[in-house]
């Protein structure tokens, strides 16, 4: 690496596509690979990996809690390269128009992905993963077009502090909206059928939302909520914070957790800050002022600093993914910056690129592979189970090693996913949203 000033990055950086593809690798089902290994061998290493590939129940942070914010972070980094080119060609107005069109299209795709126009209004989920990405992209893209970097830093800091103040000081009704309480509430409301559904499903999202909202349970929940006059502040527990209560009061249609949505209204604000952190990383990589050494020092240094600051802030404002707390933004953003630094070092500085080519294929068609995954029922393993499941799985588990059948199914599923994105890459078919 040279200490000489680097030229501005005008071409597409392979590390951005590779890291985005690495992220998608876990989204499309790589976790099933680890789970299969843990079933084959119950040792401390596999148990730890399996533990990391599940979300923290509420407060806390695991590797799987990094997957979503990493993608949003990468959206922000890509904004710099894509919009800079458009601004140079069509001006800021042209770039802002592009942002609005792409954001609206992605939001509509998100509604369709969540079962949108095939379901009646009460069962239509308006806020979801793709919807959050659309809103974060639109807000960060417009801000990038309108303001200088120093102003963007101030806006990002203002969002994080304002979000903390919102949760810390805005009073809410002194009642906990939590799906785990619904079975008891259903019994209280004289609704044994709904109570049984919740106890058997163990998950509010697994129960038909229309059936619940037409039940005595929902009426009882709304009545108890409306009758609660005592107010509290500074609460961060599940269903017991201003973000969840705002969703309950103002978010129409179906919510993922019935009472509230982890991709709800207010929690989208700090997601914009996550996207802006990615914008800062993109500006750094695009810069012609800094050498590669300095770019890497900033990525690693700022990343570690954000993680440390996030955990320190987390002592008062817990790190919680489901409401995207400001401390969570810093922790996830810091880890994202460190990962980007590592990929940039290996792929674009050292030019070790052959190993990451499959990730590049996936990263350049991230939305496509995400939609295909949903079409297949949430994972490519469902398709591979039709090919190497059934008697093959049973024979492998019985005669070779317990859990080997699941491992083979997972491997074949991932290979099918890589084959698809490689085919699209070779044919130059890219879904640009």
Predicted confidence (pLDDT) per residue in 12-33, tens digit: 799 999 999 999 999 988 888 8
pLDDT of residue 3: 44
In this structure, the answer to whether residues 92 and 230 fall within a common structural domain is no
Rounded average pLDDT over 41-59: 90
Q: Is residue 246 part of a domain?
A: yes
Rounded average pLDDT over 100-117: 89
Determine which of 120-124, 201-205, 272-276, 395-399 has the lowest per-residue pLDDT on average: 201-205
In this structure, the answer to whether residues 223 and 278 fall within a common structural domain is no
In this structure, the answer to whether residues 295 and 386 fall within a common structural domain is yes
Q: Is residue 233 part of a domain?
A: yes
Q: At residue 1, does pLDDT exceed 60?
A: no
Q: Is residue 406 part of a domain?
A: yes
Burial class (CB in 10 A: 0-12, 13-18, 19+), 125: buried
CA 160 to chain CA mean position, Å? 18
pLDDT of residue 2: 41
Residues 339, 307: contact at Cβ < 8 Å? no
Reported confidence tier of residue 343, pLDDT bands at 50, 70, 90? very high
In this structure, the answer to whether residues 163 and 177 fall within a common structural domain is no
Q: At residue 394, does pLDDT exceed 90?
A: no
Residues with Cβ < 8 Å from 140, sequence gap 6 or more?
75, 76, 79, 272, 275, 276, 278, 279
pLDDT of residue 294: 97
pLDDT of residue 206: 57
Domain that holds residue 188: 172-250
Rounded average pLDDT over 396-417: 89
Q: Is residue 6 part of a domain?
A: no
Residues 220, 185: contact at Cβ < 8 Å? yes
Query: What is the DSSP annotation of 295-357?
Result: HHHHHHHHHHHHHHHHHHHTTTS--BGGGT-HHHHHHHHHHHHHHHHHHIIIIIIS---GGGH
In this structure, the answer to whether residues 182 and 158 fall within a common structural domain is no
Predicted confidence (pLDDT) per residue in 278-316, tens digit: 999 999 999 999 999 999 999 999 999 999 999 999 999
Reported confidence tier of residue 182, pLDDT bands at 50, 70, 90? confident
pLDDT of residue 430: 85
Q: Is residue 255 part of a domain?
A: no
Reported confidence tier of residue 4, pLDDT bands at 50, 70, 90? very low
In this structure, the answer to whether residues 74 and 199 fall within a common structural domain is no
In this structure, the answer to whether residues 41 and 180 fall within a common structural domain is no
pLDDT of residue 258: 80
Q: Is residue 155 part of a domain?
A: yes
Residues 294, 285: contact at Cβ < 8 Å? no
In this structure, the answer to whether residues 300 and 394 fall within a common structural domain is yes
Q: At residue 213, does pLDDT exceed 80?
A: no
For the chain, give the mean pLDDT.
89
pLDDT of residue 81: 95
In this structure, the answer to whether residues 416 and 286 fall within a common structural domain is yes
pLDDT of residue 411: 93
Residues with Cβ < 8 Å from 2, sequence gap 6 or more?
291, 292, 293
In this structure, the answer to whether residues 153 and 239 fall within a common structural domain is no
Burial class (CB in 10 A: 0-12, 13-18, 19+), 116: middle
The Cα–Cα gap between 128 and 24 comes to: 17
Predicted confidence (pLDDT) per residue in 184-197, tens digit: 777 777 778 777 77
Reported confidence tier of residue 351, pLDDT bands at 50, 70, 90? very high
pLDDT of residue 217: 75
Q: How many domains does the structure of the chain reveal?
A: 2
In this structure, the answer to whether residues 79 and 44 fall within a common structural domain is yes
pLDDT of residue 421: 95
Q: At residue 126, does pLDDT exceed 60?
A: yes
Predicted confidence (pLDDT) per residue in 240-262, tens digit: 999 999 999 999 877 888 888 99
Which of 334, 293, 402, 430 is closest to 65 using CA atoms? 334
pLDDT of residue 91: 95
Q: Is residue 9 part of a domain?
A: no
Q: Is residue 8 part of a domain?
A: no
Reported confidence tier of residue 216, pLDDT bands at 50, 70, 90? confident
Residues 70, 331: contact at Cβ < 8 Å? no
Predicted confidence (pLDDT) per residue in 65-96, tens digit: 999 999 999 999 999 999 999 999 999 999 99
pLDDT of residue 5: 44
Predicted confidence (pLDDT) per residue in 130-163, tens digit: 999 999 999 999 999 999 999 999 999 999 999 9
pLDDT of residue 112: 86
In this structure, the answer to whether residues 135 and 201 fall within a common structural domain is no
pLDDT of residue 208: 63
- Quick one: tokens of 266? 């207010």
């Amino acid at each position: 690496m040279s200490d000489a000033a680097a030229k501005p990055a005008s071409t597409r950086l392979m590390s951005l596509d590779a890291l985005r593809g690495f992220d998608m690798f876990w989204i499309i089902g790589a976790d099933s690979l680890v789970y299969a290994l843990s079933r084959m061998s119950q040792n401390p290493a596999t148990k730890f990996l399996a533990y990391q590939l599940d979300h923290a129940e509420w407060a806390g942070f695991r590797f799987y809690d990094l997957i979503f914010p990493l993608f949003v972070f990468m959206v922000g980094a890509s904004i710099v390269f894509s919009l800079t080119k458009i601004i140079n060609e069509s001006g800021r107005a042209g770039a802002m128009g592009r942002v609005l069109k792409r954001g609206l299209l992605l939001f509509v795709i998100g509604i369709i992905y969540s079962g949108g126009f095939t379901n009646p209004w009460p069962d239509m989920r308006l806020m979801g993963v793709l919807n959050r990405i659309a809103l974060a992209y639109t807000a960060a893209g417009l801000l990038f077009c309108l303001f200088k970097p120093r102003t963007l830093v101030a806006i990002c800091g203002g969002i994080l502090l304002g979000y903390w103040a919102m949760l810390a000081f805005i009073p809410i009704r002194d009642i906990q909206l939590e799906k785990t309480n619904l079975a008891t509430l259903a019994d209280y409301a004289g609704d044994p059928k709904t109570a049984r559904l919740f106890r058997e499903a163990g998950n509010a999202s697994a129960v038909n939302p229309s059936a619940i909202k037409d039940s005595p349970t929902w009426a009882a929940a709304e009545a108890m909520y409306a009758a609660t006059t005592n107010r509290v502040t500074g609460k961060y527990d599940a269903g017991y914070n201003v973000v969840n209560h705002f969703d309950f009061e103002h978010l129409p249609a179906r919510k993922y957790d019935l009472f509230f949505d982890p991709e709800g209204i207010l929690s989208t604000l700090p997601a914009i800050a996550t996207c802006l952190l990615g914008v800062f990383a993109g500006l750094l990589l695009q810069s012609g002022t800094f050498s590669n050494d300095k770019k890497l020092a900033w990525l690693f240094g700022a990343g570690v600093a954000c993680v440390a600051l996030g955990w320190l802030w987390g002592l008062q404002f817990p790190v919680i993914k489901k409401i995207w707390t400001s401390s969570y933004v810093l922790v996830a953003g810091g880890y994202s910056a460190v990962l980007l630094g590592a990929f940039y070092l290996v792929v674009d500085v050292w030019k070790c690129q052959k190993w990451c080519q499959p990730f590049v294929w996936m990263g350049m068609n991230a939305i496509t592979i995400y939609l295909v995954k949903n079409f297949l029922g949430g994972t490519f393993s469902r398709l591979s189970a039709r090919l190497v499941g059934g008697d093959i799985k049973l024979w492998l588990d019985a005669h070779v090693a317990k859990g080997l059948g699941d491992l083979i199914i997972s491997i074949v599923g991932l290979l099918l996913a890589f084959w698809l994105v490689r085919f699209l890459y070779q044919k130059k078919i890219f879904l640009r949203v």
